Amino acid sequence: MASTIRVRATASGDSTEVQALIQHPMDSGFVKNAKGELIPPHYIQQVVIEHGGKPVFIADWGPAVSKDPYLKFAFKGGKKGDDLKVSWTDNKGASDTLTAKIQ
């Protein structure tokens, strides 16, 4: 099955721009379902991006981040062809990871 993570990493000069889109319900715990029951909170808490074996950016998220969350940031030192690793963990202990190549 396909990963929940989509990454677009582009190197330009000495800077790499990273965009990630992650498939996740990001349920806040405040919304009710059709039966009127509260849907329990289910959201990504942390996203770690690593390059060359080192974290370059970490996101700490709460349930106010939108469903199918998006993230964009940039860092120095990446080159075209390098691996970029994106991982997330959520409040239920689930996780996923994806390694993509910088374009």
Partner 1 sequence: MRRFSGLAMAGLAIAVAVLSAPPAAMAADTPNPPADLKAFQKFFKDKFPKVKFEDFVNGPYSMDEGLYKQWKEKEEFPPYEFALDLGKELMAKPFKNGKTLADCFPNKGIGIRQDYPHFDAKQGKVITLELAVNQCLEANGEQPYSYVKDEMAAVTAYMAYTSRGKVFDVKIPDDPRALAAYENGKRYFYTRRGQLNFSCATCHVQSPGERIRAEVLAPALGILNAMPIYRSEWSGMGTTSRRFTSCNSQVRGVPLKPQDEEYRDLEYYLSYVSNGLPISGPGARP
Partner 2 sequence: MKSSIWNDAPVSRRSVLQGIAAVAVVGFTGIRFGMSEALAAANDKYPEDAFKQKSEADAIKSLYGKTAEKSDKVKLDAPEIAENGAVVPVAVSSSLTDVTSIAILVTENPNTLAAAYRILPGAAPSVSNRLKMAKTSNVIAVVEAGGKLYSATKEVKVTVGGCGG
Residues near partner 1 (CB under 8 A): 2, 6, 8, 19-21, 23, 67-68, 70, 72
Cβ neighbors of 86 (< 8 A, separation 6 or more) are 5, 7, 18, 20, 47, 48, 49, 97, 98, 99, 100
Contact 67, 32 (CB under 8 A): no
Contact 41, 25 (CB under 8 A): no
Smallest distance, partner 1 to C-beta of residue 90, A: 17
For binding to partner 2 (CB under 8 A), which residues are involved? 1-3, 5-10, 15, 19, 26, 28, 30, 45-46, 48, 54-67, 69-77, 87, 89, 93-101, 103
Q: Which does 23 bind (CB under 5 to 8 A by kind): partner 2, partner 1, none?
A: partner 1
Closer residue to partner 1, CB minimum distance, 29 or 52: 29
According to DSSP, residue 41 is labeled: P
